Structure 1
Amino acid sequence: MTATAHPDTTLLQRRVLRTLFATQVIGGLAVGIGIAVGALLVEDMTGSSTYAGLAQSLFVGGSALVVVPAVRITERFGRRGGLAFGYACAVAGTLVIIAAIHLDNAPVAVLGYFLLGSASFAGLQSRYAAADLAPAAKRGSHLAIVVWATTIGSVVGPSVAALAERWWSAAVGGPAYVGSMVAMGVLCVLTALIIGVFLRPDPLLTARELSGETDAPRRSIADGYRTAKSNPAVRTGVVAAALGHFVMVGVMAMTALHIRHGMADPEQALTVVGVILGLHIGGMYALAPVVGRLVDRHGSRPVLVAGTAILVAACAVAGSSPADDHVRLSIGLVLLGLGWSAMTVAAAALVTGAVSPAQRPSTQGFSDLVMGLAAMGAGIASGPIVEYASYGMLCVFCAVVTLCVVPFLMGRISGPTAAEEAA
């Protein structure tokens, strides 16, 4: 029996989407706070752009730490267990960073950001949970609804960081950035509770029941690697998602420092960073429903090609922007988010549609592991490039990396179309 033939599937999917929508709004707020504060906090502690980029990359790439145990938890307990685990790790990360701030210990703060990145992992995994029970012909759209929901929280998140700082400083006092971390921790706890209580029945476990795969053997990240190695569609999706993530993180991580280097007032810089990164995150998520419909109508390959072109344009606009040209930087960062959205939604739909429900956690987990490692590589590389060359040279480097996906898009992508799956 297929998911589309089950009479209750439509109602179950609506409930899943409502729950995921709520958690993405709240979790998006938490991620937005972490993105806005990370590079600034570590540069204040170390005085180095290199270490600041490392912290930011570890935040976005922290999924590499949790993806292996998260896949095992998801295999056993479904999406509910894996997502709650990710947010719980992020809560632990906020506690570590708060301790590091009071101890003035930068290495401990960097470790905390690695844990904090689990919130980013959970947010990315939510898009797969939205696709588990979706009809094949609407998989891209349903997946994109959850991606879009992050807009509400993530756009506001960087500005909330500044508000949390001012409120905490007035009410409690103490070192800078503690208020931001407390706010992020509270939001992650609330998100985990909503997932645990309301994401029932679990979409992945239900999809397996409907497909008759409840007795399928448990799979690991290694199985996901083997699937990607043998399946051209999965391989293309994994590479496209990883390269898009690399470019987005590489440019975005250093933009906050690029802005601050052109401003004398650090407090005013945080406000400007919040606005520009908010616009960037809006570009990442706001048009996701449009991207999802394009994927459903035209397939993943054309959307991936368009995403590649947009990312190259984003690097050109942002890389040519002086530090005090906030309008041009905003345009470049919005394009960067839009290109990332096209690559992420199309790649996720491609990977999900190419495997059965029993193979999804391991294959999707492998894809997110590669994305996390790509993000870490971007942050590690971006700091030294900016410190010893320039922000413009970083954008040139990222544009070249973007074009590495072209050979994969030119190759043959096998796998059933949405119409074939629906039939």
Structure 2
Amino acid sequence: MRRDAGTAGDGIGDGAATLAALGRAIASGALAAKDAEIAARLAGRLGAPVRVTLAGLPGSGKSAALNVLAGGRVLPVRGPGGGRAAMPTVQVEAAGPEGPGALLTLAGGGREAASGAAAAPEAIAARGDVAFARLRRDLPALGRITLLELSARSEDALRRAGGWAAARTDLTIWCSRNWTGAEQALWAAMPEALTAGAILLRPPAAGRPGAAAAAAFDHVVSVDLGAALGARGADGTLDAAMMRAAGGPELIGAVRKLVRRTRQALIDRADLLLARNAEALEAMPEAAPGTAPGKSSGKSPGTAPGTAPAAIPFPAPAPAQAPAPAQTPDPAGAPGGKGGIAALARAAARLREAGATLDPSDGRAVIARAVEETARLAEELEEVDDPAADPLRDLAWAAADMAQLLGVERGGAAAGDAAALLLQLRDALPPEAWARAA
């Protein structure tokens, strides 16, 4: 199945070309009613953030994990002895044009909008009449993911909540202190839609996971959530070394992989639907010269020759400390073949252009470009079938993961570290790439 390079962001491309083709197919009226319904549903999912659900027993670290992934202090964290009023089930999403606030579903079934102090989690918890709260927050990470924390005070309640969440979830993070036999049985009873793509999140003190955990989850990750939260200052800055020591990058990397898999599965389903209806859609305008809707020209749809996709898994941010630079690959060992060298040449051209046009005083622009280029090159190299490309691809993904993790820092130091990422990527490119980019 082809990969849709799109035009901007989620680590595999954002599916922009496929989304546009779905829109044309729906507007054409040529699809049968059932396929039109499926196409509309797929278009809705491709146009929306990936839905991440955090579940687990009370006190397992769900709120802390949500804060780490959101890149900000969204929810109060329960202490070992409780220490906060019980929150209802909460979904955290991007603020959008309406700005920060909350939409509350009350226990009696009514709905109520809240803003300002009334939209604070503590105020919502203190009310006692809220069954579900959608919190809108202005955090960059929420442009690519939404975060749903299931609140349940018993195993039976959690089982029921899991059934409700299954239709609202693309990937699940199960937070656990000990991964007991009772938890294992509870997880096994959850709907398949909830367990199909999942991460087990445990504290380092829990020790090495057993075979049962490895078999039940796509990834098992150990994170010291307290240290990860402590790594972020009240002003949004972050101690990179402290976050790495806490295991934060491992969690972010696991989420990124499942986000990419989720998005690609949606793109593949849409491509199959378009291919199945290709004959009926022949009269539609072609997405690219010589390419019918739903068919591949052999190139990534939506990507003009000589350009590369911008691939940002979810909005992210500049690292406080760049990963250690890799050694410049030996020319003889550079990724070979037309595809590999062409990808590197395009990266060299982009980096040259960035060096000539970026204003070092514009921290946001430097940060955004650093994230874009690291992830863009990594995604291009995913398509290169050459072992020589592996070290550079791993370097690019490591830099992108770190950028995603650290959050947007507004000071000049963040821009400097982002520029260091661009320099690191530049120095890793082989001489042939620069020669071909000239």
- TM-score range relative to shorter protein: under 0.3
- Which structure carries more helix by proportion? 1
- Which structure carries more strand by proportion? 2
Higher RCO, 1 vs 2 (CA within 8 Å, ≥6 residues apart): 1
TM score, norm. by length of structure 2: 0.25
TM score, norm. by length of structure 1: 0.26
